[in-house]
Amino acid sequence: MSGSDMYRQQILDHYKNPRNYGEMQDPDFSHVGENPSCGDTIQVDVKLADDDETIEQVAFSGDGCAISQAAASLLTETLPGKSIDELQAMDTDDIVDMLGVDISPMRIKCAVLARQVAQDGSKLYRGELDEKDRTITEE
């Protein structure tokens, strides 16, 4: 759970070469989030399949630390094919598994930001959440 351990090849690769980076043309839903004390900001755009339930394509944009950006990049690869329910069921452990490294306690908020943005976005889309300006995962 120490610093360099967190920066294994996969994380650094996704940070330096983010996948699916940029804003989508016609997302079904889109949501933003930030962790003000870090300055991490992330927008997640999601395109759904015709069933209005299966995630077809995901893009992200924003900037911030390697953990938050790599997690977002990895998420854009992990989500397609999953259902919104599956997205909403993802917890912190799933993100840590996805990253493949231990995340130190104070950095968890960076790791889970993109997931939370995607989850909140899907809830807003489904009307399960009333209104939410920005998602924040800092306490």
Partner 1 sequence: MPTSDASGLDVEAIREDFPILERKIGGDVTVPGPDETDDQPLYYLDNAATSHTPRQVVEAMTDYYYEYNSNVHRGIHSLSQEASIAYEEAHDRAAEFVGADGREEVVFTKNTTEAFNLVAYTWGLTELEPGENVVTTQMEHHASLVTWQQLCEKQGAEIRYVEIDEDGRLDMDDLRSKVDDDTAMVSAVHVSNTLGTINPVSEITDIAHEHGALSFIDGAQAVPTRPVDVAEIDADFYAFSGHKMLGPTGIGVLYGKQHLLEELPPFLVGGAMIRRVEFEGTTWEDLPWKFEAGTPPIAEAVGLTAAIDYLEDVGMEAIERHESELARYAYDRLSEFDDIEIYGPHEERGGLVGFNLEGVHAHDLSSILDDHGVAVRAGDHCTQPLHDVLGVPASTRASFYLYNTREEIDELIDAVDTARQLFA
By rule CB under 8 A, what string of x and - marks binding of each residue 97-136 to partner 1? -------xxxx--x-------------------------x
Give the torsion sign (CA, 53, 55, 61, 64).
positive
Q: State phi, psi for 133 to the nearest 5 degrees.
A: -65, -65
Structure tokens at 8: 């294994």
Using CB under 8 A, which of the segments 60-68, 79-87, 89-97, 123-131 binds partner 1? Answer: 60-68
Residues touching partner 1, count (CB under 8 A):
27
Q: Bridge-partner residues for 55, per DSSP?
A: 48
Q: Name the residue nearer to partner 1 (CB basis): 105 or 127.
A: 105
DSSP per-residue codes, 16-56: HS-TTBS--SS-SEEEEEEETTTTEEEEEEEEE-TTSSBEE
Instruction: Give the residue, chosen from 18, 27, 62, 64, that forms a contact with partner 1 under the rule CB under 8 A.
Output: 64
- Positions that interact with partner 1 (CB under 8 A): 1-7, 12, 15-16, 36-40, 64-67, 104-107, 110, 136, 138-139
